[in-house]
Amino acid sequence: MHDSDDSGASGPAQVFLSVGLTAHRDLVPAEEPRLRAQVRSFLQRLQGEFPDLPLRVISALAIGGDQLVAEETLALGIELMVPLPMPQAEYEADFHDAESLARFRGLLARARVRTLPLAPGNDIEAVRGRGEARNRQYAQLGMFVSSHCQVLLALWDGQPSEATGGTAQVIEYHLRNSMRGFNAEDAAPNLLADDESDLVYHVPCTRRIARAGETAAGSAASARAAGEAPRWLTADSGHPGDAPMPAHYRHVFAQMQDFNRDVQRYAAQIARDAVSLLDGATPAPAAATARELDALFAASDWLAVHFRRRVRISLLCTHALAAAMGLAFILYSDVQANRIYVAIFLLVFVLGLAIRWVGERREWQRKYLDYRGLAEGMRVQFYWWLAGIDIPPGSSLGYDSFLQKQDVDLSWIRHAMRTTGLLRHEAFNTDANWLQWVIARWVGARGSAGADATGQLAYYQQGSLHRERAYRLTTRLGDVALAVGLVGALALLVGGERMGPALQSKLVLAMGLMPLLAGIREAYSYKKADKELIKQFRFMSRLFDGCRARLDRARDDAQLRQLLRALGCACLEEHAEWILLHRERPLEANALSG
């Protein structure tokens, strides 16, 4: 075993705005200066609009538009990610002259590289020759680029095409989740969900070589398109390229940028106090990708805890102020009609409104929930990656299904997970030791609910017990308040005539104050969703316990990975429910009504 003291990522934890690329190979040389200028302007515009959201361009470095954009990308200091559609030696057969091959290798040396696996049904011999098998690799590449970017940059002549994996089909896939040669489940498992990942920036161009069967009218249309200005395209509409980015996408990217800014703002505290998933002993030194995923988890987890503390303090303050307002009202109405109690009532109310205003302005509730959602998504991706759980390159499993059916406003979390999904299949020698390490750290041991236990199984067992105790306290306080009210009423009924005015006033005060405190405690419990969380923690405890039992009975590593994949999907669904439960109960001034 190796100690993972060096588990921190090489750079700061941050999410990227990924720009995917699809482009024609046969550009007209005379148009290249214009295309370079338009591409450069587009990238600089994104950098200017989102200065704290670093760009990452995804390009396969094919001849033509891909290499043109890659050169502009590197010239601007933007990270370049190269997914190869097949092993490099086979892919280089596409470069027919020494100049284009040297250009490819030079760009590749300055990029992060990931080689995609063979598409289902393909073998290496079939891919070596020209034909449908090789085209399926390009189609898979297009699906991969589309599935891992926020904006698709398209150098396109604007004409439809039946070529499998061609530029037109990649754009069609990005807009409408349909790719020839792949079934709907593989291409888009959630076709009916709201889609906020269909943004295309179209830079028109013409092609040097006419398509087979293209008519004169088609060639003329392509030439006219080249004279047009760039455009924003979505599945539903198109806008001039010099117009502002569609508002919804701009909002999503701004939230991604907010996360990076919060990471920068609290960088020192995160470095000092954040919890790492790689702490302790590991089977081997952790790969760079694992450290990056861990750093992003650690940052989002720390921020979630930080803003949860702010939300909890705000809730405690508002409910304490509600109790003070209730006490002031009771004193004024039942003890002494002194105007000072009215002044106290108003002052406390204003303080409560101020707390609410600060919380809303700084978005404590939203950030707490969003960052917790991101942290749990990163936890799943981290353990999946280390366990060697295979996700098809073009699949959106693990991020697009997360929260998509519930709330489009949470799109930025899915987009953040898209950017990290780029890294999941980087070369990594996972083995049985890593698989068992993941099971021990993620799932844990059955029945280990003690203080020294590890794993999510122990976490949910302990969480259930903690929330049950808190809810019992709320219930008992309500019972005590009811008992005090009944005893006080009986005392006044039976012996009220023999009591002095001072004792009667104290008894009436207690009868009014105890139900008030019980009601405020109940409201506080409702805001925290204690009752619902008990059910969710029990469910998650049963889920992990059942998974642990099945893992113990698994026949081989393949079955272990299948169970961990199913567990991750279930965790993402349950965390989505948790986020939505709390979003329905935001920090408000309702508690001040008593």
Query: How far apart are alpha carbons 195 and 400 in whole angstroms?
Result: 9
Domain residue limits at 344: 285-390+425-593
Closest CA to 576 of 384, 400, 314: 400
Q: What CATH number does residue 179 fall under?
A: 3.40.50.450
Helix (H) or strand (E) holding 81: strand 79-84
* Edge-to-edge strand list for the sheet holding 199-204: 112-115, 79-84, 55-58, 17-23, 151-156, 199-204, 231-233, 238-240
211 plus 328 within the same structural domain: no
pTM of the predicted model, to two decimals?
Answer: 0.82
Of 233, 253, 273, the one marking the end of a domain is 253
146 plus 65 within the same structural domain: yes
- CB burial string 66-83: b at 16+ within 10 A, e below: bbbbbbbbbeeebbbbbb
Residue 399 lies in a domain: no
Give start and end residues of each alpha helix (H) in 266-338: 267-273, 288-330
Please count the structural domains in the chain: 2
299 plus 431 within the same structural domain: yes
Return the structure tokens found at 350: 């204003």
Q: Do the beta carbons of residue 584 and residue 351 sit within 8 Å? A: no
Give start and end residues of each alpha helix (H) in 396-498: 411-421, 432-438, 456-495
235 plus 300 within the same structural domain: no
The CB density around residue 115, as the number of other CB atoms within 10 Å, is: 15
Residue 119 lies in a domain: yes
326 plus 240 within the same structural domain: no
Residue 417 lies in a domain: no
> What are residue 17's phi and psi, to 5 degrees?
-95, 105
Give the HSE-up count for residue 395: Cα atoms under 13 Å, Cβ half-sphere. 15
Of 253, 276, 295, the one marking the end of a domain is 253
Residue 267 lies in a domain: no
The pLDDT, as a whole number, for residue 71 is 97
Query: How far apart are alpha carbons 379 and 381 in whole angstroms?
Result: 6
Return the structure tokens found at 161: 């095409």
Query: How far apart are alpha carbons 470 and 478 in whole angstroms?
Result: 13
The pLDDT, as a whole number, for residue 520 is 63
Residue 20 lies in a domain: yes
Query: How far apart are alpha carbons 493 and 488 in whole angstroms?
Result: 9
Question: What does the longest C-alpha to C-alpha distance in the chain come to?
Answer: 110
Mapped onto helix, strand or coil, the DSSP state of residue 86 is: coil
- Distances, alpha carbon 589 to alpha carbons 54, 122, 349, in Å: 38, 61, 9
Residue 513 lies in a domain: yes
Residue 8 DSSP one-character state: S
230 plus 306 within the same structural domain: no
185 plus 298 within the same structural domain: no
The CB density around residue 491, as the number of other CB atoms within 10 Å, is: 15
Give start and end residues of each alpha helix (H) in 205-287: 216-226, 247-265, 267-273
Give start and end residues of each alpha helix (H) in 50-84: 65-75
- Distances, alpha carbon 179 to alpha carbons 15, 135, 268, 396, 540, in Å: 28, 12, 46, 14, 37
Of 229, 253, 277, the one marking the end of a domain is 253
Query: Could you read off the pLDDT tens digit of each residue along the chain, which spans 594 residues?
Result: 444 433 334 457 899 999 999 999 999 999 999 999 999 999 999 999 999 999 999 999 999 999 999 999 999 999 999 999 999 999 999 898 899 999 999 999 999 998 888 888 888 888 888 888 888 899 899 999 998 899 999 999 999 887 777 899 999 999 887 776 665 445 444 433 445 578 999 999 998 876 544 544 444 455 455 567 899 999 888 888 888 999 889 999 999 999 999 999 999 999 999 999 987 788 888 888 888 899 999 999 999 999 989 988 887 787 778 777 777 777 777 667 788 878 888 888 888 888 888 888 888 888 998 999 999 999 998 999 888 887 655 455 555 555 554 555 678 888 888 877 776 555 567 788 899 999 999 998 875 445 555 688 888 888 888 878 877 777 777 677 677 767 777 777 777 667 777 776 667 666 666 666 666 666 666 666 667 778 888 888 889 989 999 999 998 998 999 999 999 988 888 888 778 777 765 544 333 333
Query: How far apart are alpha carbons 308 and 473 in whole angstroms?
Result: 22
The pLDDT, as a whole number, for residue 211 is 52
118 plus 226 within the same structural domain: yes
247 plus 298 within the same structural domain: no
The CB density around residue 88, as the number of other CB atoms within 10 Å, is: 13
The pLDDT, as a whole number, for residue 437 is 93
Residue 471 lies in a domain: yes
The pLDDT, as a whole number, for residue 430 is 76
Return the structure tokens found at 103: 């250009």
Return the structure tokens found at 342: 């009215």
Query: How far apart are alpha carbons 258 and 362 in whole angstroms?
Result: 11
Q: Which region, left, alpha or beta, applies to residue 589 given φ > 0 means left and ψ of -120 to 50 means alpha?
A: alpha
Return the structure tokens found at 451: 């203080």
226 plus 316 within the same structural domain: no
Residue 272 lies in a domain: no
Query: How far apart are alpha carbons 392 and 118 in whole angstroms?
Result: 10
135 plus 66 within the same structural domain: yes
Give the HSE-up count for residue 73: Cα atoms under 13 Å, Cβ half-sphere. 27
Closest CA to 420 of 302, 255, 294, 259: 294
243 plus 295 within the same structural domain: no
